Amino acid sequence: MLATLLTRGDSTVTREKNFQINPVVIALSLSFLGAAQSQAAIPVFINEIHYDNVGTDISEAVEIAGPAGTDLTGWRVIPYNGNGGASYTPAPTLSGAIPNQNNTGFGTIRVDISGLQNGAPDGVALVNASNQVVQFLSYEGSFTASNGPASGLTSTNIGVTEGGEALINGAVQSLQLTGTGTQFEDFAWSTPVLNTLGAINGGQTFSTGSQPPVSRCGLSNIAIHDIQGTGASSPLQGTQQEIEAVVTGSFQGSAGLGGFYAQEPDAEADADATTSEGIFVASATAVNVGDRVHVLGTVGETFGLTRLEGATAVNVCSTGNALPAIANVTLPFDPGTNNAEWREGMRVNLPQTLTVSENFNLARFGELVVSSNGRLITPTQVAAPGAPAVAFAAQNQLNRLIIDDGSNIQNPDPVIYPQPAGLSAANTLREGYTLTDAQGILTFDFGAYRLEPTQALSFVPANVRSATPPPLPGIGSLKVASFNILNYFNGNGTGGGFPTSRGATTAAEFTRQRDKIINAITNLNADIVGLIEVENDGYTATSAIADLVNGLNAVNGPDTYRFVNPGVPVIGTDEIAVGLIYKPAKVALVGASAILDASVNPNFIDTLNRPALAQTFRDKTSNKRVTVAVNHLKSKGSDCNAVGDPDILDGQGNCNQTRTSAAIALGDWLNGDPTGSGEANYLIIGDLNSYAQEDPISALNSLGFANTLANFTASNGGGLNYSFVFNGESGTLDYALANPELSGQVLAAEEWHINADEPRALDYNVEFKSAGQVLSFYNADPFRASDHDPLLVELFVPGDLDKDGDVDNLDFNVFRSALGKCNGSAGFIREADYDNSQCITNADYRTWYRLFNAYLSNIAAQ
């Protein structure tokens, strides 16, 4: 016969093709290999499957085989759908014992499953009476179960399929195990033949001989690099192959990945840098790192990962072997020179400092996203929409790697990162943390490359928490904040009304959310706060905004905060709205508020964007006025197809024109002084759902509204502004934009990074958490109070009459020119009328002079 001869010497290994093998010699040689056998026995197993025949499917069934007398009472056969991994019915429960058929000491039981599905893939799990999965087999591919006893397990593809075979004298064909032995591993699956459901298969012999199955160690095998090939998928996909290699990572069982990684020893690797030497083996057979194993299985591709599945033999040939040399790889990857595919399944080290760019799925799937050269930046935060942003996004895609936890378990408890203590409210793992020299197995799953670590990871807290907002200069008299409070819904306002449509599910959850939000706003200590995503349920005593103000006042003292009531039942038609709260001790309302909606400007589509709310305030210390407009434009993930505004793939997402039109309408509206303030100090705040280089921000810039965050970051030596992280990329969605009159009076603008950098598991929600995690993941602190970071702006130097941000002789000259002027006369400056007498008098001068001296003292103290 023709075969592949594997000749292994002390230091060299060669594989020769089409060498003539004498079967007699092989048989004699195998008799000496029994002692090397090491494989887990599966004595009760799925022996036959029928799921697809010509025309309407009939007689769908599986067959269970095992030693005669084995009691199968309480065992189940559970079918699973490969599209989503969920089980379905019927899932028959077995009873009775396996019969002794043909006096062999073994037998079979037929299990009918009407409607056994024939997708690509589908499968069945054999579950014992203790609810343990004995086998999880699939046909036409592999998949991971999402529920039931097999949840988190990856199926083993049997490697043969039915394709609508014809009936034979009215009887269906089936897939059957053939060969000689006593356990599953002894047999191999055949292509469709006439079914023998309920009887021992025609090509099957049960032998109870005392000799263990013969090991395959040393038999002909193929190099892993030949299985991997030079492309994205294996050229040998769907074929049965044998490998012999060293185990480099063991992630077996339901708590792991359902298998192990094996890699060619260094001496047996090829010289082609574009072919991988490692592969994943889906198998429950117990192995250890350093074992040399011989595996017989079928080459498959699951979620883009080349692997051996349906292993019918896994033999440990030797133990304690030296591991193949670890390969250095670096981010970013490069398709031509540093292709991750070339190292798929291999031991790797990343000899560089990596930054955590995303922790969104840390507690959900045990995953982190890391990148090189700092955190990933949203393309349109720094690049123009269109080709520049698309190119930036492509580079980001090459500069990301998932750090996994070596497990398919969802919602793990504990969450192992950060090691060794694991995740908790007191032991966070923030975006911006770093690690160096991460080692593990480079693999691919669910559309992304990932590292399965083989040693503990040490994260450096390079982006530590700050319990208080960043320090501001302190010479300004007014602080304005913008804060998206993430669907703050208080039920019916009297303790009931849960679950809510967008916010907390229960009253207990709402209390957790409320305590965090109140803590954050209290620590912001702003005089005016623009709120985004507050329940749009009006302004009565039971409304959400009233509840928030009541909670703040309970902590900070009576009447510390009030809310702006715009005099309408609700603002717009959305379930959420914007709002304004303020400290009456620091500011006074000037006139009524104003609302921008489609009735004011049809270009502002208020069924998509939330109406804007503007209110003029008088700062009681400086006597200056500012009109604050809080906004929430339509999100990028929303559907705007009805208004002809889809994602045009330029990096700005859906609804960009809807947001841009609203931004232009907003700028024009504010420049028209909608509240009748008489003073052109205008500040736009809120969640504009647009990154810094996108069209809505550019439109507002062109109307004179400057990005205060960007301006102050630039003046402080650069750095990244961000208030939100999506898909592992950081950027600003939340803004404070000042018109020219106000810009010179802005003293500082800062983001307080309490939310975007934190794992979402630390928020108020209790879903997807164990009972212990509901407690350990939560503190009533500001961290992960929301998903957006709040921002804080310091305004107004008291006595700064020329609006240049200081108090000096120029301001004295301005005051002197106004001295003696009264309201209604030329030269009257309302701001300098500190006693509101309607005339500028010497009493006002004494006030101004006090402010001047206070400014000098503040400057001297800094």
- Chain segment 733-763, per-residue pLDDT in tens: 999 999 999 999 999 999 999 999 999 999 9
Structure tokens at 695: 């069209």
Asked whether the predicted pLDDT for residue 422 surpasses 80, the reply is yes
Residue 469 lies in a domain: no
- What's the pLDDT band for 130 if we cut at 50, 70, 90? confident
pLDDT digits (tens, 9 = 90+) for 578-624: 999 999 999 999 999 999 999 999 999 999 999 999 999 999 999 99
Are 52 and 163 in contact by the 8 Å Cβ rule? The answer is: yes
Give dist(CA 412, CA 431) in Å, integer: 20
Phi/psi class of residue 649: alpha, beta or left (left: φ > 0; alpha: ψ in -120 to 50)?
left
Within this chain, do residues 489 and 620 fall inside the same structural domain, yes or no?
yes
Share of the chain above pLDDT 70, in %: 94
Cβ atoms of 4 and 21 within 8 Å: the answer is: no
**Confidence grade of residue 166 (pLDDT, cut at 50, 70, 90):** confident
Statement to judge: residues 27 and 141 lie in one domain: no
Predicted confidence at residue 105, as pLDDT, reads 86
Q: Does 733 lie in the same domain as 588? A: yes
Between 168 and 436, where is the model more confident?
Answer: 436
CB 9 within 8 A of CB 15: no
According to the model, what pLDDT value does residue 69 have? 84
Is 465 inside any structural domain?
no
Q: How far is CA 606 from CA 574, 596, 599, 601, in A?
A: 9, 9, 9, 10
The answer to whether residue 525 scores a pLDDT higher than 90 is: yes
**What average pLDDT score do residues 444-471 get?**
95
Residues 445 and 407 in one domain: yes
- Class of residue 384 by CB neighbours under 10 A (exposed 0-12, middle 13-18, buried 19+): middle
Q: Flag whether 334 is in a domain.
A: no
Distance of CA 108 to the CA centre of its chain: 46
Return the pLDDT at 25.
Answer: 28
Q: What is the pLDDT, as a whole number, of residue 852? A: 95
Mean pLDDT of the 458-474 span: 95
**Do 637 and 663 belong to one domain?**
yes
pLDDT of res. 12: 30
Q: Are residues 539 and 635 in the same domain?
A: yes
687 and 740 housed in the same domain: yes
> How far is it, in rounded angstroms, from Cα 486 to Cα 509?
13
d(CA 589, CA 92): 71
Over residues 354-387, the pLDDT tens digits come to 999 999 999 999 999 999 999 999 999 999 999 9
Mean pLDDT of the chain: 92
DSSP 8-state secondary structure symbol assigned to residue 338? B
Q: CATH no. for residue 306?
A: 2.40.50.140
For residue 44, pLDDT over 80 is answered with yes
Average confidence (pLDDT) over 628-648: 97
Contact criterion met (CB below 8 Å) for 532 and 482: yes
Residues 792/472, Cβ–Cβ less than 8 Å: yes
* 278-282 vs 305-318, strand pairing mode: parallel
Average pLDDT of 655-661? 98
Q: What does the pLDDT read at residue 41?
A: 55
Is a pLDDT exceeding 50 seen at residue 781?
yes
d(CA 35, CA 795): 82
pLDDT class for 132, splitting at 50, 70, 90? Answer: confident
The number of residues making up the chain comes to: 862
DSSP H helical segments within 716-838, as ranges? Answer: 740-743, 771-776, 809-818
| DSSP-assigned letter for residue 144 | B
Q: Are 744 and 603 part of one and the same domain? A: yes
306 and 350 co-located in one domain: no
The pLDDT score that the predictor gives to residue 212 is 54
Task: Summarize pLDDT for 666-700 with one digit per residue, the tens.
Answer: 999 999 999 999 999 999 999 999 999 999 999 99
Same domain, 391 and 506: no
Quick one: average pLDDT of 168-194?
A: 91
Q: 754, 773, 795 — which closes off a domain?
A: 795
Is the pLDDT confidence value at 656 over 70?
yes
Residue 80 belongs to some domain of the structure: yes
In a domain, 64, yes or no: yes
CA distance 361 to 725: 13
Domain membership of residue 802 (yes or no) is no
Q: Indicate if 349 and 411 belong to the same structural domain.
A: yes
Task: Measure the CA dihedral 754/759/763/769, to 10°.
Answer: -160
Q: pLDDT at residue 10 above 90?
A: no
Residue 408, domain extent: 340-453
Would residue 57 count as lying in a domain?
A: yes
Q: What are the structure tokens assigned to 828, written together?
A: 């009257």
Q: Which of 166, 187, 206 is the last residue of a domain?
A: 206
Q: Is the pLDDT of residue 36 over 60?
A: no
Three-state DSSP state, 582: strand
Per-residue tokens: 240: 């049965």
**For residues 127 and 75, is the Cβ–Cβ distance under 8 A?**
yes
Task: Check whether residue 158 and residue 220 sit in a common domain.
Answer: no
pLDDT, position 167: 86
Could you say which of 290, 325, 360 is where a domain stops? 325
| Cα–Cα nearest to 792, from 584, 419, 499, 481 | 481
Read off the pLDDT of each residue in 140-154 and give the average, rounded to a whole number: 93
Average pLDDT over residues 801-828: 95
* Model pLDDT for residues 298-336, shown as the tens digit of each residue: 999 988 899 999 888 899 999 999 999 999 999 999 999
Question: Is the CB of residue 726 less than 8 Å from the CB of residue 733?
Answer: no
Does residue 462 lie within any of the structural domains? no
Residue with tokens 């025949």: 53
C-alpha 746/C-alpha 583 separation (Å) is 20
**pLDDT band at 22, cuts 50/70/90?**
very low
Would the pLDDT of 121 be above 50? yes
Q: What's the number of domains the chain is made of?
A: 5
CA-based torsion, 37, 41, 47, 52: positive or negative: negative
Is 520's pLDDT higher than 90?
yes
Bond from prior residue into 471 cis (ω within 30 degrees of 0): no
**Three-state SS across 323-366?**
CCCCEECCCCCECCCECHHHHCCCEEEEEEEEEEEECCCHHHHC
Q: Is the pTM of this model over 0.85?
A: no
